[in-house]
Amino acid sequence: MAPFGDGNTAFGRQIDRRRLLAALAGGALAAYVPPHCRELAAAPFDDAVTRAFADYRRKLDELIAWCRENGLEDEARRVLENVQPYDPDHIYLTALDRNANPDPPESDSNLVREWFRKWMSLRRDQADKLFTLAQSAAKNGRMALALNLTLAAVHENPDHPAIRRLLGYTRYGDDWRTAFEAQKIRQGEVWDDRFGWIPKSYLKLYEQGQRRMGRRWISAED
């Protein structure tokens, strides 16, 4: 699948809603349902969506309370700031970074490490549930809702392999790259915010004000 955006800027990594809708309508959502989501998938649909968001918010509130009880105010605030509102009448886009999930905290505190483990586990489970519901929505022709749920899922787990592939990304080393980016890197090019994609060997010369013209280099002023 062609990449969604050019992958070079936060704007470029925004998800193209029209193309994602086309992918959903074309059956790009796989039918696989994780075992821990099968009961949810079998529930009455709208009730299942409402319950998924309500249950998740309850679990996050419990985690925030646990953080505060243990003096982890910064961690509680981080969980709260990451909460994305759910409104079926609005679509919230997520800018996808190459390194998807946050790194574990550099802390000697067992409590901080336990908080991070709990938080990541909740987010991964929620992403699986929302993607399962997105599959059900797509199969029932509710494409706008399928889109909304897919975007909510990738917000919770930007490293979700199935969603990343749906959006046109592929693993390249430790990062997620669009097919276009991966091709450029294999060709020996690098991205620079000033110059765009250029051969890596050209970068220093470009920074010195030189530009390639045919087989020779000239000053950019020329």
Q: What is the pLDDT of residues 73-131, one digit of tens each?
A: 999 999 999 998 888 777 777 777 777 667 788 888 999 999 999 999 999 999 999 99
Residue 38 binned pLDDT confidence (cut-offs 50, 70, 90)? low
Most confident of the following: 67-71, 99-103, 182-186, 189-193: 67-71
Mean pLDDT of the chain: 82
pLDDT category, 5, cuts 50, 70, 90? very low
| Confidence label for 11 from pLDDT (cuts 50, 70 and 90) | very low
> Is pLDDT above 90 for 66?
yes
DSSP lists the bridge partners of residue 219 as 210
Strands 216-219 and 169-172: unpaired
**Cα distance between residue 58 and residue 62, in whole Å:** 6
User: Is the pTM above the cut of 0.75?
Assistant: no
Spatial CB neighbours of 120, under 8 Å, sequence gap ≥ 6: 101
Q: What's the average model confidence in pLDDT over 17-38?
A: 57
- Neighbouring residues of 162: CB distance < 8 A, sequence distance ≥ 6: 30, 32, 131
Radius of gyration of the chain (CA): 21
Average pLDDT over residues 9-17: 46
Higher pLDDT, 186 or 32: 186
Question: Three-class SS of residue 106?
Answer: coil
d(CA 176, CA 100): 8
Q: 1: pLDDT confidence band, cut at 50, 70 and 90?
A: very low
Are the CB atoms for 200 and 206 separated by under 8 Å? no
